[in-house]
Every structure is written in structure tokens, then in C-alpha cells.
Chain A
């Protein structure tokens, strides 16, 4: 939400992720062949340094997005050309796809060419891009960045000259503060030092917060799915028995998804079936979680010839035991608990899984490039607007460090590219459902649960928090909240705080309370005074004793 409200886009998503809301482009037209689009830009948008926003900025931004060091590169990979016509018209040509608006036009932030080209004169040069520090920020959106300390906080101030008058914010300042862990963030929320906390509060904390009269706990469909990735890479070096679909099926039936979800996330998650979570545009409600049936699982393994060994671990016909290592990321302690519970269930069907918690960097080095793992319990955060999460399973993603299952399936690859160039949106959905069905049956992942966004905020101080969007009011994709939020009293400073973790995904924002001067309590004076006195006296005494 910070980028969303600081920079502008050609167009924006509405709350159901349809890319239909005008922004820098007040009018646009997609050609019937779905391979070209033209955007007409407003003429009165300005950068925070006074320069006007023009078509040249748009062209430059899309060129930078196409840089291979940019995380937006996959979104614009299909664009074959982008041109400015005059100062306020932009034309795109791209490989035929329906998803251009959703994938690119609503996603790429427009950055000031006249500022950035000093550092990145050649937009396609990756090393130049990584050099750019991006502060002071020159932006055109409803908020400006007026201050920031890396890793600590960002201060946003409302842009009173914003060209879109109806979107000028109702609060003057927002401060987004980063916390190392949810405990400090929630403590700050409870103490009234911040006004909102997001996106990750633990279920335990959420339950505890419900008893605070000032604080509202929001939970709704979220942006995250946890899964167990299985090494099915034909060239991988994990336990080869995992390449047998029947083993994977048995494992999938040996997890009680309902109970696991309840234990780990309480009421704040939904047991998973398909890859795309509930609340997202391409979610398939027809897929149901695998049934928990230990008898069935045992039966599958028996019939497949995996005999039970003397120590309770099954062995394959050619002698390989069903003995695995289950890696889990260590920065998600509740998932470590989940891994332990799953390992316990699996032991009841003769499968031994040793749980190992490792940090993300180590896990990444274990998986890529040699695929030495058996399982990795990990998560994805993604955009609900587009089906690109499915691209993780493309065969060519194995080398790039995205596919942790090493899934290689030509039918899947073909269907995916057909989806990207499907003739209409309902066809896209059909493809998305079919792809998910393949994944559901082939089981490169065992999907565990879709985690809700769990956020909390002070509803006595603020109103108009926009909650009607997947991901919650303070997510990365919700640009409405900060524009609509309004203080109940007439204070002008809103501070928000965020939790940052080493995962790139979990950005949280918390809206903190209005500005107050720091109260100086007499206790502090006394303590400070006492400390000073003690030090001085001790020094004198010790020195005097020195002969």
C-alpha cells in the first residue's frame, strides 16, 4: 500500500481486482486483436518536484520494468513496443493477451524519467538499476515520502496538489513503522503508540486483542498460501520415491487439513485445495482438500508395493526407504509446529520425515540449483488479480530459482501459454481452473491452508477503513484505505507501522495514533537523576581509594 499510494499508475484495480479505475490515464482503448492498447493521459499530473508527468515518463517506466533485475519483468515480458505519441498519449504493442491491463497497465508504477535517468540512463542495464537509491523520492501520487530511515520507518505526507481531486487524502501524515516481530508491534498497538498493525498478527494475539474495546480485529481472505513442496524434479537429487505419484497421493491423504488449520491458525485460515487461494479472482471452489484417511493412505502404499519395514518405515520395491527430510523456513515458528504435527501423522503410515528448520537463504541454496531436498514447507504471497502464481510450475522456472518442486509437464506449459493469450476472460478462468486441476492431481505441492489477512486497528480514532478487499485494509494491494481513512478527532498526524521480516513478502502497515508530545513523567527524572548520582559518587569513591 505504500507504493500504491505514493506512485501513480496508468490505471488501477477496483476492489474486485478488475483493472477499470482511471488514474494517470483518463481514457484508454484496447484493440480488438488484444495485442495493442492506447492510453490517454491527464495533462495536469505533476511530480513532487514540479515537473509535469508525461508520456515519456510512462515509456521510461515500462522500459525499466523490463530490466531483468526488476521484479516486474515477468509482467511486461510480453510487450513488444511502447511508444509516446506527443506528450500525453502512449501506445503499447504486445503479444496477444487479455491480461495486459491486469498484468501490466495496473501494475507498473510510473516513475520520473528526468530524475531516474541520471542514475539509470540505460533502463535495461541491470547493474545500473541496482545502484539506484531512490531517495529522495520524487513521485506523483496522493502521498509523498517526506522522510525515511531504512529498516525503521517511512513518513508519508498528503499531496495537496494531487491532480485527482477526489482522491486527495483526508489525513495529513502517515507513518509506516517497521517492527522486527509481532510482539513489539502488538504491544505498541495495545499501548496506543500505533494505530494499526498488519498484515501478520498471530492468531493468539488476534484473540487477545479482541478484548480491547478500542481495537477492531479484521480478518478476511488473505494473500498467502502455505504448502509442502515436493521434489519431483526428474533430474533432482532428493529421495526418488517422491517421483511416484502414488506416494504423493498417500502423503496427501495422511494430513488432517481441517485439524491442522484449526491448530495452527485457529479460525484465521482455510484448509487449502487448489493452488489459488479463496478470495482471489481465479480461485476454483470446486476443488476440495484431500480427505484425511490413514487407512486409504496405507492402502495406496501397500498396493503400490511399499512394504512396511521392521522399524516402522516403509521400503520401496528396490530398497529405498520412505525416509525424508522435511525442511521448513525457520522464520515461521508456527509452521515448524505444523511440520512436526504432519511428520507425526506421516509416521502412522510408515513414512519417516525428519523436520529441519532452516532460514530462507539456506533453504534456497539447498533447493537451487541441485534440488537436494525432499520437501520444503514454504509459502507464497502473490497478487489476487492475475493467475501468475501458476507460472511457478512452468518447466523453465526450475533453473530460475522460482520452482521449488522442479515440476516438468509439457501439457501444463502449453496450457499456461494458451491461457496468457486466451480470447476472453472466462476462457482465462477456464484455463486457470484446468491448470489448478493438473496441479491438484499431480501433487507437486501439497497445499495446506490459505491464511487470512489478520489486521488490527484502532476504530475509535479512525473511520472509513476500507475493509472490502481481499488482503485486508492494510495490504500491499489496497490503495483505498489510506485515501479514505479519516480521523475521528481533528488531529492531523496518523502514524502507521509495519512489520518487516526477511521475507520480501510480509510488509505490514500499522496506523498509529495521532501526534502527541511526549509526556515527561516525574519517574523518569528521578531515575535519570539517580543513575547520574550513583555514577558520580561511585567514581569519586573509587578514585579516592586509589592510592
Chain B
């Protein structure tokens, strides 16, 4: 499908439009954070501890006197960044593995799929905690860990699609003409697999954002940089929850919901655009 056609179909899809609007909104917040946030998020104010929402602090303040609205705005950067980069890792690895496994078949396929299965069998959050304990808690490592969790489902999807494409006549023709495997994978398989990958990408980003928040909330991974999960982590561990300081907990969580929703809607819409028959949904472990 040409880009114009894609765009036309996409914009006629209500879900897609809403999703895209949310993404644009998030992008603006993240990029223009320094201008939107009224306070320096790191600025502590011992005189304004745990204040409820007021004209001065729209979302109130936390136990260090920091403005929660500014924290949430700035938190979008890391939350989204990790989501994107981790997904990039997952996409690259997943696509390569999926195409290689699907096209080559045989023992290579078996071996790759068994390894993939390991990641799908083991509870995702648990695996992340263990790996995070092995590596240090830097941002890069968190990105790698989440990428590590996400590539298997991409690989599976890519592999199925590769298996389908592989059977198509023009691939047969190419093989008959003497094209090398690499050439076929690059020229024929890859472009036809990619549309499926786009939809999968959006959903993977949604899952990555969620996983990053979950990991940081548990105290695993990067608790220094401001992210929505990090704000919730301190909201919980400082005891603000049981003390009833609701304004501390609601905004960051709501932002996660909005972000995940945005990417999920976009993902489902893309799915419908490229695959009008809607073969299968994607299930993530979010327990």
C-alpha cells in the first residue's frame, strides 16, 4: 500500500485518529517539557510538603515539596524514551530472528523458536527483576532488559508472516531465478513483513511503557531519573498512599493509562489498516 493510501485508511479509522491525537499530545509534552512545566521538577521546597492541589501547584506537591505537575510533565521523557528505545531493540532483534527462523526453517527454526519460547514461558516481570539484579540499574540496561522481554512476541509474529510470504509465487519465482537467500529475505520477505511489524511496534511500545513503570515501581531498575513509574514508586514507599494523599498517585498513573491507550489504539488501527481481516490480537502478561 502506498503511503497516501495508508494515511487515508488510517484517518478514517476512529481508533487510529484518537490514538494519533494522544501520541501527538504526548510528544508535545515530552519535547516541550522545559517550557510547559512551571517548576524545576528537582526543586525541593521544605515549606510546601504534601500539599493538595491548588492554583499554585496544580497537582499538589510530594513529600519533598516538589511540584507533582512538573514531575509528571518531565516524567514523560524517560517513560516514552524507554518505551521507544526498548521497542527499537525488540523490533530489530525480533524481526531478524523471525525472518531467519521463518525463512530458513529446519533446525535453525526449531532452535530459535525454543529460545523464544523460554521468554514467553517465564513470567515477564520476574525475568526482568532477575536480569535487572544481574546488570546495574542504568537507563541503558533497563532499555535492554525491556527489549529482551519484548522481542520474542515480535519474532513470533514476524515468523508466522514470513511463513506465509515464503509460499507466495513471486518468492518461488525469485528462488528459481537463482536469488540468494539473503537477497530474498531482504527484497521480498522483509518489505512484506514490515506492515505487520508496524502494528506490532505500537503495541510493543505500549507494553514497554507499562513494563518500565512496573519495574521502577517495584524499585528495580532506574529509580533516579524522573519517570511516571518512579513517581509512583516514591508515592507508595513514602507511605503517602496509606496516608491518603491521592493527588500524588493519580496523575502519574493516569498518564501511563493515556500513553498505553494512545499506542494501543494506534496499534490496533494500524493492524486494521494493513490487515483488514484482523487475524489475531496480541496478548501481553500484565499481571
Contact = CB atoms under 8 A, between A and B. Distances in A.
Interface residues of A, number: 32
Interface stretch (A328-336, A477-485, A539-547): A328-336
B242 A190 contact: yes
A249 to B, nearest CB: 25
A183 B137 contact: no
Interface stretch (B181-189, B205-213, B231-239): B231-239
Contacts of A330: 137, 219-220, 223
Most A CB within 10 A of own CB, among B64, B136, B237: B237
Contacts of A344: 42
A259 B64 CA distance: 11
Interface string A330-348: 1101101100110010000
Contacts of A201: 239
A202 interface: yes
Interface in B135-162: 136-138
B242 A205 contact: yes
A463 interface: no
Contacts of B65: 263
A336 B137 CA distance: 13
A183 B239 contact: yes
A120 to B, nearest CB: 34
A contact patch SS: helix
Contact of A357 (B224, B239, B242, B243): B224
A540 B236 CA distance: 43
B63 interface: yes
A362 interface: yes
A356 B137 contact: yes
B44 A341 contact: yes
Given A186-B242, A330-B219, A357-B219, A181 B138 contact: no
A175 interface: no
B239 to A, nearest CB: 4
B258 interface: no
Most B CB within 10 A of own CB, among A201, A204, A259: A204
Contacts of B237: 181, 202, 333-334
A214 B230 CA distance: 34
Given A263-B44, A356-B137, A362-B133, A183 B241 contact: yes
Interface string B40-66: 001010100010000000000001110
B244 interface: yes
A262 interface: yes
A333 B234 contact: yes
A182 B238 CA distance: 9
A390 B47 CA distance: 37
Contact of B233 (A208, A259, A333): A333
B282 to A, nearest CB: 24
Nearest to A340: B224
B240 interface: yes
A183 B224 contact: no
B239 A182 contact: yes
Nearest to B226: A340
Interface string B195-215: 000000000000000000000
B142 to A, nearest CB: 12
Nearest to A188: B242
A359 interface: yes
A204 B240 contact: yes
Contact of A356 (B138, B234, B245): B138
Interface of B: 42, 44, 46, 50, 63-65, 133, 136-138, 219-220, 223-224, 233-234, 236-245
23 contacts: A181-B237, A182-B239, A183-B239, A183-B241, A183-B242, A190-B242, A205-B242, A207-B243, A259-B46, A262-B46, A330-B219, A331-B219, A333-B219, A333-B223, A333-B233, A333-B238, A336-B223, A336-B224, A356-B136, A356-B137, A357-B137, A357-B219, A362-B133
The 6 closest A-B pairs by CB, nearest first: A208-B243, A205-B239, A202-B239, A333-B237, A204-B239, A183-B242
